[in-house]
Structure 1
Amino acid sequence: MARTIGQKRRREAEADMEQQAAATTNGTKDGPPNKKSRVEERRSLFVRSLPASATNESVADFFSQHFPVKHATVVVDPKTKESRGYGFVTFTDVDDAVEAKAKLNNEVFEGRRLRLEVAEPRHRAGGPGVVKSRIAEEKKKREEELAEAKKVPKLIIRNLPWSIKSSEQLSQTFSKFGKIRFADLPNNYGKLKGFGFITFRTKKHAERAMAEMNGKDVDGRTIAVDWAVSKDEWEQQQANDEDQKEKSEPKKKSKAKKEDDPKRTTDNSTTIFVRNMPFTTTNDSLKEHFSQFGPVRYARIVVDKATERPAGTGFVCFVNEDDFKTCLRNSPQSRPPVKGARISVLQDETVDTDGRYTLDGRVLSVAHAVSREDATRLTEAGPAARSKEEKDRRRLFLLPEGTIPTNSPLYRLLTPTEVKLREQSAQQRKKQVQANPSLHISLTRLAVRNLPHNMDAKELKALARQAVVGFASDVREGKRLALSKEELARGGNDDKEAERRRKEKGKGVVKQAKVVMESKDGKKVDEKSGAGKSRGYGFIEYSSHRWALMGLRWLNGHPLKNEAGRTVRLIVEFAIENAQVVSRRRANESRARQKRDAGVQNGGKEADKKGKPFVKGNKGQAKPEVVKEVETPAEAKKKKDAAEKLANRQRIIGRKRMVRKNKKAGR
């Protein structure tokens, strides 16, 4: 590691010398620079951190995309003919060079972040003291850079969500960027402080984690990732900040008007919420479109966490409040449809006459953005009202339930075969519901795939009961989120009635578990026959949607051992059912339930159509069906043994009679 850092420092020192030498090639030691040197002074940039594959043409093409370039030179190794990691770019204007340095510094070029400096001519005037001073400064600079390189690559993560309750969870969140040496989550007597620390093995991995995770949403909160400093440096910075604050207090008192108008980036007073955006919209295109109303501080599109694709909405924050009000006031308002008028999904000229609110042929809907807390409160307060307005009677919103996002830690544990199975299942289910309008998603029935072939229905039912208990335990331990109020209210009155009947009868939360079996010729057979083998999938039916959702989220991706001892992970989704079949089944269950209730009310005797019980000896009445008593397994076995003994006795008697008959015939 130290050797690599030393080689890097030597290359940078050679680059500094090359810059100075190149800057003085056009001038003499004692005389003034020539005309070419005076013209190109401060129009050239010294470029560091170039990749080994960089050439004069590729560097010139990269910078020409932003500013006019006169020429570019990459310093190469005479032996290998590869780039030594630095070079020069000369622009046609001094202003272009300054703007290029400000804009393109730290930009990525062929996988490397460039470092730009303005190339200045070397001043050779001065005696030996100047040379010694310059050498000392260079040595001090190298020592500082070496000390910086030896620092532990430690990051501080602020504004962490409360769902991250342990250092293991924090380490798991950042483990995809490289090997982690240590993770710490400070707390105050068990109460988390909202920030944590991550120490990586290498600085490269830490830089990658900071670049990709800074400003990213994690469980609904935007985290901030930065380099961690020592406690002494932090206390010194705090002391400096307090000194500056004390010095600025008199100015604040004399300038009270300026205090009333601070620049706040987290204020939503100038932020708008945009709907009906094209799915091809990016942050840059959204910002560019709304810049016609005034300066824009930032623009962000909303990405769906499940699909990892744009959701068609976004946020735009203006710098000035007047521009915000103008954009909001002149935004197109939705109008009721006019009878006989032509309807178009593209731009409506009657709504957006000047086209300022139309992006890629779609008329944008603009509203004042609310804070995250208000949005959460409104979301939790209105599930019942939204459920009434929902027109998705087929419950297709449950179709993605069971999909594992690609950025999830569980996704990395799946084998390529399991990933392919999940993709095929998602495509097949989507085609089924699109082709047949009678199909809908069940609230209580789960389809389980990738089952071990040695698992039967009894074991599957036990696993389904374990899933509900496991989900509740994970919620208590903070390993997963509890069900939201909206999810608990999905079942409505049907779920409440089902739960009431279940508790009255004292039954469990799992109504049925079934493993689909097949015979040797591939036909479906009943599992009770014992003559088939498992097809590798089955079904689980819970008593209500609440238990089904808990079971699905715990079982999906759950590892099991198959008959060969290999680990397989279950694929669990809400089952697709035919609405007509379900309607007939519910009608039959309702009639059977009413029939049982009527029998209980009459003391176990069935009633006729008029509600009168059948009486023995009444003429003109049909004989009631004999209600068979339910036998216990012990009674059934005892009865079966008695029948077998009787049959054996009859066979023995029959054989004896046959023997006697043959003897008589032989005489």
Structure 2
Amino acid sequence: MAAKRKREENSTTLTNESKQEGEGGTLFVSNLPYTATSVDLQTLFSDIAPVRSAFVVLDKETGKSKGVGYVSFAIREDAKLAIEHIEKNGFVLDKRNLRVEYADRKSDANDSLTPSKPKHPRQPLNRSKISDPLAIRTVSVSGLPVGIDSKVLWKKFRKCNGAEKILQWPLKTESDEEDKTRAEILFSTPATAQEAISHLHAHIFKGSLMSLVLKKRLDTLVKSGNAPSKASRLIVRNLPWNTTEDDLRRLFLPHGPIYSITIPVSPPREEGEQPRAKGFGFVWMLNKQDAEKAIGNTDGTTLGPKNGDSNAKGKERIIAVDWALSKEKWNAEKPKIEEVDGSEGGSDEGEEDNSHDTGSDDDDEGSSESHNSNSEDEGDGELSNRDESDASHDKPQLPAPETGNTLFIRNLPFTATEDELRILFRTFGSLRYARITLDPATGRSRGTGFVCFWNKEDADKVIEKADLLKMETNGDQTAAPEKKNPFKLASILTPDPSSSLAQSLVLHGRTLDITRAVTREEAGRLREEGEKARQKQDKRNLYLMREGVIFPNTPAADTLTPIEVEKRVNSFNTRRQLVRSNPSLYISKTRLSVRQIPSFATERTLKRLALYAIRVFEDEVKNGTREGLSADELKEDEDIKKLKRKKGERPTAVRQAKIVRILEKVDPITGKGRSKGYGFLEMISHQDALRVIRWANNNPTVEPLMRDWWQEELKDILKKEEDVESKSEEQQTKINRIKNRLAELKEEGLKKSQRTLIIEFSIENIQVVRRRGERETTIRREPKAEDVRSEKDLETRPTKKRRVSVTESTIEQKAAAKPINSVGSIIECKFECTTARASFNQLKMSNAFQERRIVIIGGGIIGCTTAYYLTRHPGFSKTDIHITLLEASTIAAGASGKAGGLVAKWAYPRELSLISFSEHERLANLHDGANRWGWRKVACGQWEGRTREKITDDDSKKSLHGRVQAHNLDLPTDLDWIDEGLTHAYEPMASFGDTAQVHPYDFTKSMIALAQTSAPERVEVIQGAKAMSIEKKQLLDNEAERVTGVVYAISDSHTVHIPADVVILAAGPWSPELHRGLPVTAIRAHSIVIEPSAMISPHVLFTSIRDDSGDESTPEIYPRPHNRVYACGPGDEEPLPELAANVKISPDAISKLRKLVGDISRPLREGKVEIEQACYLPLGGPIIGSVENVQGLVIATGHTCWGICNAPATGKAVADLVVGGSLGKTWKLAKLEPRHFMGS
């Protein structure tokens, strides 16, 4: 062994000496300006040292500079001095930084150390390719359809700017055959040729995907041979079996020109059998830059079957794209990868993560691995003249990791090689092998490796030195403290590579981290202990992020469609990014997020599912069919120990079951809003939450169970309704609906659903949770006030005269003694009540001002109806009150002019909708609303169906199946404009007469016009005035403030201040900009107005359309007078613009909406779209009332999509509050006051 090592060291010495001889006095200079000459080069370097010669390399064909050159010095030391000078100070010539390195020495035929390569005969240059003067403006086209001629080809390209002629078509191949899929087109200039490439590359021409590239570029890339460099070849793995070359061409062509595509196939096993693809392919791009771009954009994408291939549905695959290796390199690397992958494992003994894996992507934190390779060290035992017979000898048995001969190495540079690793550790003793672990997916280093010594004593010397390094860097950590310091973090310091102690363990400037390798079992145990220790330290519970997630290539993923897998992975990535972006977020240990809940499920059903999952989970654990919770997971949490049940409280595992609902769409059976398909489960303990998520997540048996439970609930409701002796018409209608619903559930139970529950641990905000806890504590401590009782309590509580306190009685008597005066109740008043929640009826009136000014911010429907009702209030004085309405854009520029205009008694909230519906009727009768703003009664129902698979010319003919289905579903006869064959269910939402509609833009404009007509000199409307701030003044006798005015801008540089005694904030989603703390958010909604091809009946539809993939969309359709149809779709969270006039539409959202409504209705599909628009809806309310401690500020905003419907009631209530001084007994708006939504 010693002799062998000596021969290798001598060989290394000779190699190094020969390398030094090559580094003579000649330097290679690159990045030269193309205008530089040989004289410039010699003059420039002569300032450093005497130059023997210098010249710039010229192109043989053009005679111009190639941007490189050579400088030869008299002695080697001068060349070395020049390189050091340039590396230190840089060298600039014509604003270009020169790059300098030693010139490569040409091979010497007499060199005995390096054998000369056999000389190949010189290949004759293809002058046509290299010196073609037209190549710079010639476009090479490939991928043309086969069945075209030159006329069709020229017709396609003559439209391009600068196209002159077809230079050559078809092109001839190397075998002198014609290739009709390729052509060359000549353009007038290189610029026009490049413009054509940018427009037509990857363009589909008669079903074929064309590829365009400049002929000059093509000739340059292949000038060294008949093909471009193999460095731009890519390998595509995990291809679907039916993938064709055209599929790969469509995927990769947008990223650059393609030279060739190859999909290997296996030979047929039997005669007559079709060859089968091997599941991978090769894509050869023209240059490496395009190949790099293709990897970044296509790796990890999904490649599936072609459209319409029903047999291949669900066979999509996520492909992996990487650089292709030559067959020789792959065969050389494959055994190494298999050896490393088959023997990795291990962990070091520390509880902390003491790995200094700087730059390494090794996933095994705090762990090392054993490398049970069966190959010997290639450097120590390999001779160049080894006989082939040696391969037949049995390889020696490697020592087990317990012997201590094998070491695990971290912090390896990614550029390090196994030879370098072997040379570094050879100084400690004889090596069996040295291996670097490779990532199986990429074939690249993972930053870790193994070395195995023949003698344990040599390995001990390495460990001893590594321990000394750690002690020098981190101090002596052998004596651990009795109690762990929670504020102490693991050290990330690494030993100084320049220190004398670390020099023998430094590779490429990195100090290696070395530990003993252990067995795979021990590595797993230590890894598990490390994970548990990190989980205990993880205060945000981020380790629960992966719980319930189904990743690709897992057994559970085989039971799902690729779309479902992608949905779950995307959710995981989104949640992970969300938690990373906000340190206030954490993963709850007891609250579960449940998605893809069936639309029929209720809170009772969801709670029942949780209890059932806990019970069945434990039964399966006892039967041995499921793995139970680990011992660490079964430890009872400290919070659960402290939790005490209240006296008489029934023990349960579920604290809360909640389903998020659409309050605007009420289910006529349950009286609750329609489910949005997701909800939450709050469990008492973390252990029960784990049981629920592990049993119910992606369990196909869950939906049938929930359907059976929902049927039981319906039967209970049906029994209660039928037990009533005298049934009203409404009760009988409800009974019929329940029976129909039961029949539908029975039919649906025969169909197998492909959608399963997605259950994850919920993300919580620590600040929101704390505020919620403080609010609950306050509510428990404080007595309940009369004005915050629930609506149910107010309706069921018997009328009883309330005892009036002395203070309140005195205030009311004083207020009644004075005459009713406009706005006086909220201007210049003193707080005489004992609480801080002083409402307007508790404030004293005063006549401090001759004229009182009311400013309304917002020219939408709320602001305009408020102005209308102010001018018509009995207390309004046309001499004392002045109303100013400020609108940043124009009247009804936002949602008030672009909404559907639905008016309903059953709308949300009922406190407003019932009064508002009556006011709508009164206003229409009083001001001819049928003609002025399109008031009319309409029918309204919920429609469920599916999208159309294919549109044919016979869609207008009603099929027998469609007529029978419509009859069975009791589809109204006036809905003849809906495709009955696509209908799954229909249900009326209310009796006729309980729903109406208006044209929102006309109604809003009419309201402000009527207000100005009633008081022409007292109502002023200023459009284009954006309110910037509400001015306030501190009151002297208390902590409250008083409104003094509003500042608005009429341009970027000009602002105006107007005084105000009362400010009514009705700016919709822009309201929080003027009063901080308002919990009003914005959502953008798109809508279209269609002129249908046939008459449409006045029947409003809330639709639920499900496509083939199971995704549900819920557009709403509102027929209008004069045969127009308004349709709106779901919203998105695009940021709110500064003005309503600046709202932008999404073409994709409009296109999707047109397709959805067109799929279910032929008149809408064939109709003309007149308007495409978008607006922002204010969410979070409605919020109506005065602001605590800000005298004179009234809020009226957040009405969601029911702004048009509830505007009259809101305007009337605000008028009573502002002018009348209080809300009458008819108003029950206490729970809508701002104090319930904000802090102050």
Instruction: Please tell me the TM-score bracket, short chain as reference.
Output: 0.3 to 0.5
Q: Normalising by the residue count of structure 1, what TM-score does the alignment of the two structures yield?
A: 0.42
Q: Normalising by the residue count of structure 2, what TM-score does the alignment of the two structures yield?
A: 0.24
Bigger RCO of structures 1 and 2 (CA < 8 A, at least 6 apart): 1
Choose between structure 1 and 2: higher helix proportion.
1
